[in-house]
Amino acid sequence: MAHGKLILQNNDNATVVAADLCKPETVLSPAVTEFLDFTQPIGLLMVAVFHFVPDERHPADIIARYRDALPPGSLLALSHLTADHKPTEMAGVVEAMKNSRDPMYFRPYDAVLPLFEGFDLVEPGLVSAPQWHPDPDAPTDTTEGVYAASASSAKPTPTYQPSPTPPRCSFRPSSEPEHLPGRTEARQVLDGAEWFLRG
């Protein structure tokens, strides 16, 4: 947190806040809502984070609360680890992580897709990360243990109502998230979560 503030201290177009991903009302504090222009579409990156949130924390409900706070025309980019393509290898990762500070919960396609409820998926939809807008010379039959998708929010402006008893999660994001390029490619969006204004 301190390092992030130091990096951004002379950047008027970016800010950093300490908040709990699973408590949207802590993320959507005045430090964020007064910094971003919520009269314009916003891009929300939720990359490589929700496989740290167990089912009992209701990840789809958490995302829905962010969705309801987004202005019309906003975009969501989300990636999530899966064992669909490499079940043996991924089972070993889950086993190794289950007693760690941040256990992981790999989900199949049918469990990742509902996380986009209320959004309109952008082509090509929810696919293996290397298949989401690959480079022209990249192989088209490659699969990885990550699903990725982008989706748009096209709806009337909602009224955001924080939950009186928000869920908690144990995920602690990296203190030094990688800088993401303007052209978001799924393989480059696997390392953090941040709010940013597009436009």
Could you report the per-residue pLDDT of 90-105, keeping only the tens digit for each? 889 989 998 899 999 9
Identify the pLDDT of residue 45. 95
Identify the pLDDT of residue 160. 41
In angstroms, the CA 80 to CA 116 distance is 12
Q: Which of 89, 155, 145 is nearest to 119 (CA)?
A: 155
Identify the pLDDT of residue 136. 87
7 or 107, greater pLDDT: 107
Mean pLDDT over all residues of the chain?
Answer: 80
Look up tokens 């408590």; give the residue: 23
User: Please, are residues 57 and 64 in contact by the beta-carbon 8 Å criterion?
Assistant: no
Q: What is the CATH number of domain 2-197?
A: 3.40.50.150
In angstroms, the CA 185 to CA 193 distance is 15
Look up tokens 């490619």; give the residue: 185
Q: pLDDT, tens digit, for every residue of 110-162? A: 999 999 999 999 999 999 998 889 888 887 677 778 888 999 986 544 444 44
Identify the pLDDT of residue 154. 62
pLDDT (average), residues 177-196:
36
Task: Locate all alpha helices (DSSP H) within the chain, ordered by sequence.
Answer: 2-8, 24-27, 30-33, 59-69, 87-97, 109-112
What are the backbone angles phi and psi of residue 78, rounded to the nearest 5°?
Answer: -140, 140
